[in-house]
Every structure is written in C-alpha cells, then in structure tokens.
A and B are shown apart, each in its own frame.
Chain A
Amino acid sequence: MIQPDPELHTVPPNRLAEDVQPRWRNDFPIDWPQDHYVARRDFTKFLCLTSFAFVVGQFTIAYQNWRRRRRGEPPISEIANVDAIPVGGAIVFDYPHEAEPCLLLRTAEDAFVAYSQKCTHLACAVTPQFKESQLLCPCHKGYFDMATGRPLAGPPRRPLPRITLEIRGKRVYATGVERSTV
C-alpha cells in the first residue's frame, strides 16, 4: 500500500481523497514538489515530440533526395560564345533551370570555370575578384577559391557547386553540376 505523499499539504477545493480527484488535477498541481515533477515529466514528453520532428526532417531530406534523383541528369545547355567573355570577365547564366543563377568566369585565354552563384552559407550571390583569384560573398564575408570553388574564409563550409563545361568550337556549354562536401 502506497503512503500519502508527506510533502503534499494542500487540500484540493473539492476536499475529496487524492485517488478520486479528477484526472486533470494531476496535471495542474498546487504543491511545489508535485509541480516540479509535472514540469519535468512534461518536458520529457516535449523532447519526445522534438525527437519525432527530427525524424520527420530526416525523411523530408530523403524525399527531397529521391526527387532530385528522379529529375535525372541536367540537360546540356549553351551558355555563351567564347568571344563574348573577355579574359578576367564573367557572365551570369541560369543552370540547370531558372532561379539557379551561375557564374561563368574566364580566368585565362583558354580557361573557363563556372560555379553556382549561391553562397553555400545562406545563398547570397557571390561575386568574382579576379585579382585575388577569389569569389566573395558580401553578406558575411565568405571567400571561395576561384580555381576549385573551395571555401577559403568566412562562414561557408562547403564548396560552391561546380558547373562542368564543354567548349565546342567557339561555344561554351554547361553539361552538369558537381556538388561536394569538402
């Protein structure tokens, strides 16, 4: 037989015994010791809800990945004529679809590189700095290496997605997107 809790002094307003009290009174206790218990118990329940939310997040990522795979390889798309871009110049184009701005950079007479223009930190537009051979994200001073797209300084941790290029005659084509974590 369990003994009544000696720390619980307050008599409920209906003056009935503890075991015949309505159920809601357990969730809204009057005495501090019981209130401490309920607070920690409810926090435990809330953490379980958070745990469920994390699982939903994981499966959302898996679903997005499935959708990305289902779209397949991006199409081959013509970007510009070689002569339209001077050495040390850049043009903006959308690839693999609209609302995905990318930068095509001409770093030397016969050297072209292209990256997604969205910074891998918070998707601000990066701008080229040819003298330093860097790409700068002005929002939080993130720097990327122009030759590889790797982050050099600032908050970004992932390289810029690289657009693979192909030059046919005098025309530059985008043929795919290479993403990496390092």
Chain B
Amino acid sequence: MRRNFTREQRMTIVYGMLCIILILVVLQLWLLTATMNAYLGGDEGVIWPAAAASTVCLLLNLGLLRYLYKIERPNP
C-alpha cells in the first residue's frame, strides 16, 4: 500500500533525488564532451556505447521523476 508523505518528508525525498539526478546529469555532460572529442579525433569506437550509457542515465532520471509525480498524488 502506498503511503502519503508530509511536505517535510517529500522535501527530503526531493533533496535525495536532486543529488542522484545531478550526479547522473554531470556524468552525461562528461560523456557528451568525451564523445565529441572522440568523434572529432576520428575515434568511432566510443560513440554508440556512450549514447547507450547516456540513455540509461536518462531512463534512471525519468524513473526518479515518475516517482516524484507519484508521491505528489494523494493516496485515494
């Protein structure tokens, strides 16, 4: 059964999510710059793995965002 959270509890959850999402976004930024450098340097080997890793980061972020929407909805 899903429980309702108070605003303070939701605030704590949002802070936790924010930390995780920030780390993932910084990782994606690093991936993008490294991939661009590799592409311009003619190294094609990292392009698809980096795109896949960035997509996984996005899916994790979207999962967390979905949870954020979920805890905001009042429990019926």
**Interface residues, chain A, with chain B CB atoms under 8 Å away:** 2-3, 5, 7-8, 19, 26, 33-34, 36-37, 40-41, 43-45, 47-48, 50-52, 54-55, 57-59, 61-62, 64-65, 69, 120, 157-158, 161, 178-182
Contact = CB atoms under 8 A, between A and B. Distances in A.
A51 B61 contact: yes
B57 A40 contact: no
B36 A54 contact: no
Contact of A5 (B7, B22, B57, B58): B7
Given A2-B6, A47-B22, A180 B41 contact: yes
Given A58-B50, A61-B36, A179-B41, A19 B74 contact: yes
Given A51-B21, A55-B54, A179 B42 contact: yes
A59 B55 CA distance: 10
Contacts of B62: 48
B58 A64 contact: no
B41 A158 contact: yes
A182 B37 CA distance: 10
Contact of A51 (B17, B25, B48): B25
B58 A57 contact: no
Contacts of A40: 11, 14-15, 18
Nearest to A39: B14
A154 to B, nearest CB: 16
A61 B43 CA distance: 12
Q: Which of B17, B32, B57, B64 gathers most chain A CB within 10 Å?
A: B32
Q: Interface size class for chain B?
A: 35 or more
A25 to B, nearest CB: 13
Interface of B: 4, 6-7, 10-11, 14-15, 17-18, 21-22, 24-25, 28-29, 31-32, 35-44, 47-48, 50-51, 54-55, 57-58, 61-62, 64-65, 68, 72, 74
A59 B36 CA distance: 11
A5 B61 contact: no
A159 B50 CA distance: 23
Contacts of A54: 25, 28-29, 31-32, 54, 57-58
Q: Which of A45, A57, A64 gathers most chain B CB within 10 Å?
A: A57
Given A41-B68, A181-B38, A65 B58 contact: no
Given A5-B7, A54-B54, 9 more contacts: A2-B6, A5-B6, A37-B14, A51-B25, A55-B55, A58-B51, A69-B44, A158-B37, A181-B41
